[in-house]
Amino acid sequence: MFMKRRSMAAVLSFLLTVSLPVPYAQGAGEDLSAPAPTAAADSTTERPVSQSGIVFQGKVDIGGYGLYVTIRGERREGLPTVVFENGYGDSSGIWDAAAPELAKVTQVVSYDRANIGLSDAPSSASYSALDAANRLNLLLKKTGVNGPLVLIGHSMGGLYIREYAYLYPTSVKGLIFVDASHEHMEDVLFPEYPVETRRSIVEDDLVTSGGREGHYYPDVDNTYRQIDQGRQTDFLRSVPITVLSGGNHGYPDTFIDGEARWAQLQRSLAALSNDSVHVTDGNSGHYLHTQNPSLVVASAVTMFGRIK
């Protein structure tokens, strides 16, 4: 059992970078529908402006705390704005290989979620999927970014963009999943292990990586359960979706079916819509957008032509 536990722990260490969504909460929000005033940046927290196409970079106050955002390019008539959603623990710099190229075509937004990167922590210390979606919506309004939007989410960010699309459906015209998480991930990857074993290993790894014991796993479990109830799937049937999947994750040798099981989950994401495209890059792993950023850019441009 110890050896099995070690093997599973190695896979789950990878899994933690793939998923770990925050808790889901009930509610809805206001769609982006009208221009809003542009907020001033907090220049004391700006990153060096080293990427071409940046028109705004800094911290924007959204109600007592600031979110760090980078806006590149200019909105062009007939084209949507692209918004990037990062994976768990990643800052917006993870998109620096793709964002400048895409900004040559249309407006592009990347940002650090609350309490990540250069963004502040809200006093409420609440990080539900609903909170994240509403914070993003407020950030876009504060910076004058309006729909239509194409959302691109990596890893856990795939769950966030599904939540945002549910809450603000008239603003979202397309979704692109980049090796994104799936609510049935643990069931498909580790069907032979009981929930208690998965939970124990996940919590151990979270504490090792600086997480809080007993805090994150319930968030993961609750999010999977809420999304699995169907609220997060049926409304996507008519939304254009592109699924970009890595095909070379470097799973441990003891997890010989890892790639096949992950591919099954990725196909399930593509099945969320009746208008979907699924592309697998066999040379890239989980961070496909840094290994093959041109694929992300090309997929977004192709998405623009699919939007009705």
CA distances from 89 to 52, 85, 117 (A): 25, 11, 8
- Give the pLDDT score at 228: 61
- Give the pLDDT score at 223: 52
Mean pLDDT (whole number) for 150-167:
92
Domain contains 37: no
The candidate with the shortest Cα–Cα distance to 216, out of 194, 230, 233, 201, is: 201
Which amino acid does the sequence have at 93? G
Domain contains 33: no
- Residues 64-88 pLDDT 10s: 999 999 999 998 999 999 999 998 7
- In whole angstroms, give the CA distance from residue 298 to residue 133: 26
Domain contains 35: no
Q: Lowest-confidence range among 65-74, 169-178, 194-203?
A: 194-203
Domain assignment of residue 136, given as a range = 2-25+42-306
Domain contains 61: yes
pTM, to two decimals? 0.79
- In whole angstroms, give the CA distance from residue 120 to residue 69: 12
Domain contains 30: no
Q: Are 32 and 137 in contact (CB under 8 A)?
A: yes
Q: For residue 169, is it left (φ>0), alpha (ψ between -120 and 50) or beta?
A: alpha
- Residues 226-284 pLDDT 10s: 556 555 567 899 999 999 998 887 777 666 677 888 888 889 899 999 999 999 998 98
| Whether the predicted pLDDT of 22 surpasses 80 | no
Domain contains 36: no
Sequence-ordered list of residues with C-beta below 8 angstroms from that of 233, at least 6 positions apart, any chain: 227, 272
CATH of the domain at 239: 3.40.50.1820
Task: Kindly indicate the confidence band of residue 199, based on its pLDDT and cuts at 50, 70 and 90.
Answer: low
Q: Count of domains in the chain?
A: 1
Domain contains 130: yes
- In whole angstroms, give the CA distance from residue 131 to residue 114: 9
Q: Lowest-confidence range among 89-98, 182-191, 267-276?
A: 182-191
- Give the pLDDT score at 234: 78
Domain contains 188: yes
